[in-house]
Structure 1
Amino acid sequence: MSAGLVISAPASGVGKTTLTLALARAWRNRGLNVQCFKSGPDYIDPAFHAAATGRASVNVDSWAMGREAIAHLVSRGADADIVLAEGSMGLFDGVAGRGVSGTGATADIAEMLGWPVLLVIDPSGQAQTAAAIAAGLRDYRAGVRLAGVVLNRVASPRHEDLVRRALNDAGIAVFGALPRHAEISLPKRHLGLVQAEEQAEIGKLIDEAARFVAEHVDLDAVLRSAASWLPQPAANGMNVTPPGQRIALARDAAFSFIYPHMLETWRAAGAEISTFSPLADEAPDASADVCWLPGGYPELHAGTIAANARFRSGLRAFADTRPVHGECGGYMVLGTALTDADGIRHEMTGLLGLETSFAKRRMHLGYRLAALAAPMPGHQVGARLRGHEFHYSTIVAQPDTPLAVVQDATGAVIAETGSRRGRATGTFFHLIAEDR
């Protein structure tokens, strides 16, 4: 039987990811099997989880996925000693409108699975008020149980004592307190964390975090606070159809943002995936019947992509006879041109008329529900696709046929409709699941 625990916080940027990685590695170093998950639409943290545990991590999302799909994904932790679900944003933060099984809040997953919540609290600039915040989170929603807290970025022993006393008075367990320790901070980029595969020292960084946390947190007490959990068998309710039998998937530092459950679901349905690197000037596999370009950071590599003639010509030749689809960054590369942060315009593949600019930065963020007005690989006209959009690039031109009517989580129609030209299609949202 496994034990389950949700790691959350009052807000983003408090230290959830660092604590999750540290606990996972510390317990793994003790010989335990640790399985991680990520609550919400984040394609970076699961790679860090895998680096810490040696086991693949996937996303669970109450706005885009049904209970059966979540139960199916989480069941991979059945053979683990401890299962950690890392939250996103604050514990109760979701969207205003309910999705398939919830609002996307971490609390939905905690209540659904029956796992208690380990809160990471940053008491910087406060003392007893930190206890009031923790107590408020504990009491906010019936069905969500608080295991206790770990304090992060504590300024001094006196500061720690004040916060501990207040939490004890509120009946909230304190499992440990972490003093400020810059060496274990994870580097940032404009879309969030730098990817795990970009960091040669990731193993050492996680080991240092595990050592540091083991010195300051009662690992045994945290483990005891987790809920005993025996997963129930559940059918795969992901509702994701492979875009083809043999998929040529762009995969390198510029094209890596695809949800792990998508690839697993494609393979489980019998699809074969062959990867190629546009940055290495590789063309898609000529034997594939569809090409998929995920998102990533093409704006950081626009000059290289523009100069890689073999990739560009090979992709164009592929699109003459077979479908090509791009998500977010992949969509931008399918377009005519991309202007980088320095204002330099780079020619892209020209399969779509889309032109984008990263010099004109504006954040586009949120869940998306798209009703397809034209087919795309794996999905027919009228299909309702659930996904998530997060980028800073802006559209300069989009002359092609809109691919879908796209709404945000409130039901408001948005301008980023995706587009279609010939056999090429693209969207700014990353696909999570299809409504059935």
Structure 2
Amino acid sequence: MTQGLMISAPASGTGKTTVMLGLLRALRDRGLRVQPFKSGPDYIDPAFHRAASGREAYNLDSWAMTPDLMDAIAAQAGDADIVLAEGSMGLFDGVAKPGAAGHGSSAELAQRMGWPVVLVVDVSGQAQSAAAVALGFARYWPDLPFAGVIVNRVASPRHERLVRLGMEAAGLRVLGALPRRGDLVLPERHLGLVQAVEHPDLERAICDYAGFLRDHVDVDALAEYARSGRAVRQGMLPPPPAQRIALARDAAFSFTYPHLLEGWRRAGAQVLPFSPLADDVPDPDADLVWLPGGYPELHAGQLAAAGRFREALRAHARTRPVHGECGGYMALGAGLIDKQGTRHEMAGLLGLVTSYAQRKMHLGYRRAELVQAMPGFAQGAALRGHEFHYSTIVAQPDAPLADVRDAQGDVVAETGSRKGHVSGTFFHLIAEDRGEVL
């Protein structure tokens, strides 16, 4: 297995994504093939990772994925010289009840793969005390491999000296010290970072991050702390739901997990991208039209005006399946109400009406048992996925698609729906749950 490191932190908002992007590009600039992974279900960060590394980035998730699937995805490192995995939230954060292979924490992934942790610590407002925080993380799981810390948002040379004194006293390696820089911030919106394709000048930003890391981190020395992980078995990625799949791909529909697309292609399926925002029509010979999640609420007027797209979608749905996830599901509905309260007519293939004027956050893992079939899965199949949106259901007159529960096992009202050949879910599919034991 390729040598690797886990870039994690005590909490969200510490700057680990900036560190991750800077390291990916800095190592790539040294001529190394760097394979990025993302711990957990985040579907925005991997696109930034791909831009920085030049390689497809994949999610690894111990709640939603079986050990065999995680191995199959980890094997995508292939000919890489080094792996960098970015954690989610805090290092040990996960859900209370285990899923397919664990609780979904970055620590579980680092331990399973054997990748030492680099802890990014925000030292704002503290000096030697930061060492107590880092030491707690280093010792909380005694058998977790731990490389050292990168301290971030250092206020001055004096501040850095005091922080280093504390870390030295605690026996922790400081792998870098990053001065406070207000300009090195990625733009955000309600689901987190903006999409990589929407960043006004992503290449320049990544080059800036790489230069910043080179100036304040010994990148070569840090790479030496990477450890060869456990051997992983070549395995099967998820199979395709059809042979010819027309896949919506643009700023409104962009959230599909990369391991699914890779599995579809490896199994010989043809993935045929098209842009609803450009009023493209799906390939008329497609067996299935798949609308991923994204930000349809930001483009609702443009989608409502895409007459060619909607007519072609309706024609396809008369005889062949159409499926939507989250934003794609909303676009298949009767209407979408934007945050100003204006209703936009959608495809009308389902009766679903959603509203962003009535904002409510829906966030978390989902386990769904299908009460009706959907593309690629028979009635009764169990699926694992993740839901994250702020829309509220105003109307959902169609038959429910699934019995959906959260990671705790509690019932979730967002069941998805099906009408004729058309189906949709609010959760983003990650993997089928085949009932394997931990």
Residue equivalent to 1:420? 418
Measure how far apart 1:357 and its partner are.
0.4
Structure 1 segment 36-47 matched on structure 2, within 5 A: 36-47=36-47
CA contact (8 A) 1:69 1:234 kept: no
CA contact (8 A) 2:68 2:233 kept: no
The separation in 1 between residues aligned to 2:106 and 2:2, in whole angstroms, is 20
Residue equivalent to 2:389? 391
Residue equivalent to 1:218? 218
Q: Are residues 1:273 and 2:262 paired?
A: no
* Partner SS for 1:389: strand
The separation in 2 between residues aligned to 1:282 and 1:232, in whole angstroms, is 41
Measure how far apart 1:229 and its partner are.
3.8
CA contact (8 A) 2:252 2:299 kept: yes
* Partner SS for 1:234: coil
The separation in 2 between residues aligned to 1:318 and 1:122, in whole angstroms, is 52
* Partner SS for 1:279: coil
Q: Which moved more, 1:76-85 or 1:363-372?
A: 76-85
Amino acid at match of 2:117: V
CA contact (8 A) 1:244 1:377 kept: yes
- Structure 1 stretches of 4+ with a deviation exceeding 6 A read none
* Partner SS for 1:359: coil
Residue equivalent to 1:333? 331
Structure 1 segment 7-156 matched on structure 2, within 5 A: 7-156=7-156
Measure how far apart 1:230 and its partner are.
6.5
Q: Which moved more, 1:421-430 or 1:189-198?
A: 189-198
Cα RMSD, aligned residues only: 1.2
Measure how far apart 1:368 and its partner are.
0.2
Amino acid at match of 1:332: M
Q: Which moved more, 1:24-33 or 1:288-297?
A: 24-33
CA contact (8 A) 1:249 1:273 kept: yes
Amino acid at match of 1:386: R
Measure how far apart 1:228 and its partner are.
2.6
Residue equivalent to 2:298? 300
Post-superposition CA distance 1:245-295 (Å, at most 9, x none): 100111100000110111111111221110111100112111001110000
The separation in 1 between residues aligned to 2:432 and 2:232, in whole angstroms, is 23
Measure how far apart 1:226 and its partner are.
1.1
Residue equivalent to 1:401? 399
Post-superposition CA distance 1:72-126 (Å, at most 9, x none): 2112224222110111100000000101111110011101011110000001122
Amino acid at match of 1:146: F
Amino acid at match of 1:250: A
Residue equivalent to 1:251? 249
CA contact (8 A) 1:75 1:231 kept: no
Kindly tell me the number of residue pairs found equivalent between the two proteins.
434
Q: Which runs of 5+ in 1 are unaligned?
A: none
Q: Which moved more, 1:35-44 or 1:424-433?
A: 35-44
* Partner SS for 2:5: strand
Residue equivalent to 2:197? 197
Measure how far apart 1:242 and its partner are.
1.5
The separation in 2 between residues aligned to 1:397 and 1:11, in whole angstroms, is 37
* Partner SS for 2:393: strand
Post-superposition CA distance 1:365-420 (Å, at most 9, x none): 00000000000000000000000000011111111100000000000011000001
TM-score, structure 2 normalization = 0.97
Measure how far apart 1:161 and its partner are.
1.5
Residue equivalent to 2:320? 322
TM-score, structure 1 normalization = 0.97
Q: Which runs of 5+ in 2 are unaligned?
A: none
Measure how far apart 1:200 and its partner are.
4.6
The separation in 1 between residues aligned to 2:309 and 2:45, in whole angstroms, is 29
Amino acid at match of 2:392: T
The separation in 2 between residues aligned to 1:198 and 1:282, in whole angstroms, is 20
User: How many percent identity over aligned positions?
Assistant: 63
Measure how far apart 1:199 and its partner are.
2.4
CA contact (8 A) 2:114 2:230 kept: no
Post-superposition CA distance 1:311-351 (Å, at most 9, x none): 11111111111110000000000111101111111111111
Q: Which moved more, 1:126-135 or 1:338-347?
A: 126-135
Residue equivalent to 1:208? 208
Measure how far apart 1:176 and its partner are.
1.1
